[in-house]
A and B are shown apart, each in its own frame.
Chain A
Amino acid sequence: MSLVGFPHIWSKNSSLAFAQDGEIKVGVLFSLTGTTAIIEESLNKATLMAIEEINANGGINGLKITPVVEDPASDPATFAEKARKLVLSDRCVSVFGSYTSASRKAVLPVFEKQENLFWYPTLYEGRECSKNVIYTGAVPNQQQDDFIPWLVEKFGKRWYLIGSNYIYPKEENNYCKKLLEGLGAEVIAEEYVPLGHSEFSSVINKFRSEKPNVIFSTVVGDSVVALHRQYRAAGLDPATMPMASLTTSENEVAAMGGDAAAGHFTSAPYFMVFDSPENQRFVEAYRSRWGGDKVTHFVSESSYFQIHLFKQAVAKLAASDISPLAIREAVKSEEYKAPQGLVKVEPENLHCWLRPKIGQCKADGQFEILTQSADWLEPNPYSAYPNQKCTAEGLKEV
């Protein structure tokens, strides 16, 4: 309604149409250099592979998807600058990208101001309610609702929370503490180490003296490799003091070695070993496209399936109607059979319904899926804040 009186820039004027010359442009915004390039390269690869697949099968109603790939170099300011370029000068109809919360927060104003659409594949801490972002990764309630009670029952009630010192671990821990309180479990320590920290001997000393039943780790990046390798070198035993993580995927395990990761637990909507025909196809295609030693993981999987959701949404529109906001409306309640199973976009908050699984890592670097949640879990980005709710109209106090 606030748009009344403003000539809308995305009018159906043919010279400004998003679908032109039989192609639609989309932006692909993952860091190919810098600190997080390690993981974002794999997201870039999964995204490009999905686009190639769709184009090879005739595109979307005959329209070819043209990816415009930019390298934001792991730097939030560059993310914002490249996002602006993709939206304004390349006139992309959507942009797929980013891994860290810092980079997502940096591009958000661009998409909100230009009424464009950003697709974010990473699991994240929630507490965000943007009408210009489609979130295809998990939020805290989806990864923790089954995981935490399962661990309490299996291992016990003394919990040690260790994380990297930034917003993601703190928000995950906020929700975790809420769940633990409800289960009558005790948080014996909550500790944060600097990002990039690689010396865990003091932390491991504390594990030894406190003897927690579960170590809930939200340590990320190269720190996670150091933590696991030093935990193992110290001779601690995952059978009695396992680390439980929401971020340790096949990708991190490949970086630390299966021996260091074996026995620890991760909750995620997707594992590479998940048995489904869609996943088999995905893994085979990924390896034949990018190399037989490559692993797929839960963020590369959502990078892949969000392109297919995009395709389904665009396919519902006439070529002349294609615009970021039309795509957003079209993708609401859209379902897709992803490698992880059926996913659906929640129309209220634009996050995805997912079906989380609990995996235990084995020495070969793959996970064994122990349980799977009985049903789809609704995404609730404000799970730790029960008096707030993200709706199609925006954030509401309830």
Chain B
Amino acid sequence: MDFVVSQILTGLSLSSILLLVALGLAIIYGVTGVINLAHGEFVMLGAYCAWLLQVQFGWSLLASLAVIFLLIAALGWLIEVAVIRHLYDRPLDTILATWGLGVMTQQIVRLTAGGELRYVQMPPSLSGSVDILGATDSAYRLFVLAVALGLFLATWCIYRYTSFGLKLRAITQNRAIASSFGINSARAYRLTFAYGAGIAGLAGALISPLKSVSPEMGTTYVVDAFMVVVLGGVQSLVGTLASSAVLGETSGLLAYYSNDTIAKALVLVAIVIIIRFRPQGLFAPRVRA
């Protein structure tokens, strides 16, 4: 019994990290259609902010989360104003531009913060472990799970129940018609990009106590995030949630019964097969004509 529980918890923990990293990407891609290859760098910058605030100002991770969200969101806002908004109808150019931004960000961090690996201290109140139904799990991992679900819920509520969310959904369906009804789509895009970046920054800060912080760390996360979004279906928030859960639990189980190398390979093969037969993703509600 405790084995089953601990395996489910492991999978949930993997899922929560995937969800955190993919959520921002899913929002940006879903609403604006921009394939943001610099997403991993927002994650990395969030982790570096956590490290900087801790080392320079002695802030604990929990205290700095809100600040990190705002900082990275502001950065996302700036990037949207300076670069992305000029490229909305040129998908290939956005890929190239965001990739270039990512490379530049990595090198700027390397030149200013140095190439050494860094780490962020886990909040002392969460550094213990907790017993759940006979299984032991790290309190911090459960905390990350709770935050990931909370963020998802908040995003979903904004999308579903606010007038801003209504406008977003309208723009997603047809930007031109939404604009002709007086919706300021440029502003909506900017806010979406900033919000997505802010969430990526939060993700980076939250995973930093479990992983190492380095200028290149974003690269692996952007790949994971794309897997989640592609499998879940773009434009589908629930799809992102579901596919994080599926991917997390599957790779956790496979890794337990074989090893992480094989788990990673099998998961990728499965995704390739699935998108061959369902290119719109598993949970896409409808496909735009």
Q: Do A and B come from one complex?
A: yes
Q: Which of B110, B127, B256 contacts A33 (CB 8 A)?
A: B110
Q: What A residues does B263 contact at CB under 8 A?
A: 202
Given contacts A194-B264, A201-B252, A205-B256, contact A234 B10 (CB under 8 A): no
Q: Which of B10, B129, B137, B212 contacts A202 (CB 8 A)?
A: B10
Q: Does B240 contact A (CB under 8 A)?
A: no
Q: From residue 211 to 256 of chain B, which have CB atoms closer than 8 A to chain A?
A: 211-212, 214, 216-217, 220, 251-252, 255-256
Q: Which of A41, A194, A235 contacts B138 (CB 8 A)?
A: A235
Residue of A33, A38, A254 contacting most chain B CB atoms (<10 Å): A38
Given contacts A201-B14, A203-B255, A229-B209, contact A257 B121 (CB under 8 A): yes
Q: Does B128 contact A (CB under 8 A)?
A: yes
Contact A234 B129 (CB under 8 A): yes
Q: Does A192 contact B (CB under 8 A)?
A: yes
How does the 8 Å CB contact mask read for A253-283 relative to B, with 1 for contact and 0 for none?
0111101100000000000000000000000
Contact A255 B264 (CB under 8 A): no
Closest chain B CB from A73 CB (angstroms): 12
| Cβ-closest chain A residue relative to B17 | A199
Given contacts A229-B211, A233-B138, contact A203 B260 (CB under 8 A): yes
Say which size band chain A's interface belongs to.
35 or more
Contact B211 A194 (CB under 8 A): no
Query: In the complex, what distance in Å separates the CA atom of A256 from the CA atom of B7?
Result: 26
Q: What A residues does B110 contact at CB under 8 A?
A: 33, 37
How does the 8 Å CB contact mask read for A195-207 relative to B, with 1 for contact and 0 for none?
0111101110110
Q: Does A388 contact B (CB under 8 A)?
A: no
Q: Does A181 contact B (CB under 8 A)?
A: no
Q: What B residues does A259 contact at CB under 8 A?
A: 121
Query: In the complex, what distance in Å separates the CA atom of A194 from the CA atom of B129?
Result: 27
Q: Does B180 contact A (CB under 8 A)?
A: no
Q: What A residues does B59 contact at CB under 8 A?
A: none
| Cβ-closest chain B residue relative to A233 | B138
Q: From residue 107 to 135 of chain B, which have CB atoms closer than 8 A to chain A?
A: 110, 115-119, 121-122, 127-129
Q: What A residues does B214 contact at CB under 8 A?
A: 38, 222
Q: What A residues does B17 contact at CB under 8 A?
A: 199
Contact B10 A205 (CB under 8 A): yes
Contact B256 A206 (CB under 8 A): yes
Q: Does A35 contact B (CB under 8 A)?
A: yes
| Cβ-closest chain A residue relative to B252 | A202
Contact A38 B7 (CB under 8 A): no
Q: Does B13 contact A (CB under 8 A)?
A: yes
Contact A193 B259 (CB under 8 A): yes
Q: What A residues does B14 contact at CB under 8 A?
A: 199, 201
Query: In the complex, what distance in Å separates the CA atom of A254 from the CA atom of B116?
Result: 9
Given contacts A38-B214, A201-B252, A222-B217, contact A233 B141 (CB under 8 A): yes
Contact A194 B117 (CB under 8 A): no
Closest chain B CB from A112 CB (angstroms): 31
Contact A226 B121 (CB under 8 A): no
Contact B115 A225 (CB under 8 A): no
Closest chain A CB from B55 CB (angstroms): 11
Q: Does B3 contact A (CB under 8 A)?
A: yes
How does the 8 Å CB contact mask read for A350-388 relative to B, with 1 for contact and 0 for none?
000000000000000000000000000000000000000
Closest chain A CB from B50 CB (angstroms): 14
Q: Does B163 contact A (CB under 8 A)?
A: no
Query: In the complex, what distance in Å separates the CA atom of A78 from the CA atom of B216?
Result: 19
Q: Does B177 contact A (CB under 8 A)?
A: no
Query: In the complex, what distance in Å separates the CA atom of A205 from the CA atom of B263?
Result: 15
Q: From residue 168 to 208 of chain A, which have CB atoms closer than 8 A to chain B?
A: 191-194, 196-199, 201-203, 205-206, 208
Q: Which of A193, A226, A235 contacts B212 (CB 8 A)?
A: A226
Contact A196 B256 (CB under 8 A): no
Q: Which of A202, A222, A235 contacts B260 (CB 8 A)?
A: A202
Q: What A residues does B56 contact at CB under 8 A?
A: none
Contact A193 B119 (CB under 8 A): no
Q: Does A66 contact B (CB under 8 A)?
A: no
Contact A205 B7 (CB under 8 A): yes
Q: Does A391 contact B (CB under 8 A)?
A: no
Closest chain A CB from B68 CB (angstroms): 19
Q: From residue 4 to 46 of chain A, which have CB atoms closer than 8 A to chain B?
A: 33, 35, 37-38, 41
Q: Does B78 contact A (CB under 8 A)?
A: no
Given contacts A225-B119, A255-B118, contact A233 B3 (CB under 8 A): no
Query: In the complex, what distance in Å separates the CA atom of A117 from the CA atom of B127?
Result: 50
Q: Which of B116, B209, B217, B251 contacts A233 (CB 8 A)?
A: B209
Q: What B residues does A209 contact at CB under 8 A?
A: 3
Given contacts A202-B252, A234-B129, contact A226 B211 (CB under 8 A): yes
Q: Does A230 contact B (CB under 8 A)?
A: yes
Closest chain A CB from B221 CB (angstroms): 9
Q: Does A55 contact B (CB under 8 A)?
A: no
Closest chain B CB from A182 CB (angstroms): 26
Contact B6 A191 (CB under 8 A): no
Q: Does B136 contact A (CB under 8 A)?
A: yes
Closest chain B CB from A66 CB (angstroms): 26
Q: What B residues does A199 contact at CB under 8 A?
A: 14, 17, 260
Given contacts A35-B216, A202-B252, A256-B119, contact A230 B210 (CB under 8 A): yes
Q: What B residues does A234 contact at CB under 8 A?
A: 129, 136-138
Q: What A residues does B252 contact at CB under 8 A?
A: 201-202
Q: What B residues does A232 contact at CB under 8 A?
A: 127
Contact B10 A201 (CB under 8 A): yes
| Cβ-closest chain A residue relative to B209 | A229
Q: Does A165 contact B (CB under 8 A)?
A: yes
- 14 additional contacts (CB under 8 A) given A37-B115, A198-B210, A222-B212: A38-B116, A165-B261, A192-B259, A193-B260, A201-B141, A205-B7, A222-B214, A229-B209, A234-B138, A235-B129, A255-B116, A255-B118, A257-B121, A260-B119
The 9 closest A-B pairs by CB, nearest first: A235-B129, A255-B117, A202-B255, A225-B212, A233-B138, A222-B212, A193-B260, A201-B10, A198-B211
6 chain-A/chain-B pairs, Cβ below 8 angstroms: A197-B260, A202-B10, A232-B127, A233-B127, A234-B136, A256-B119
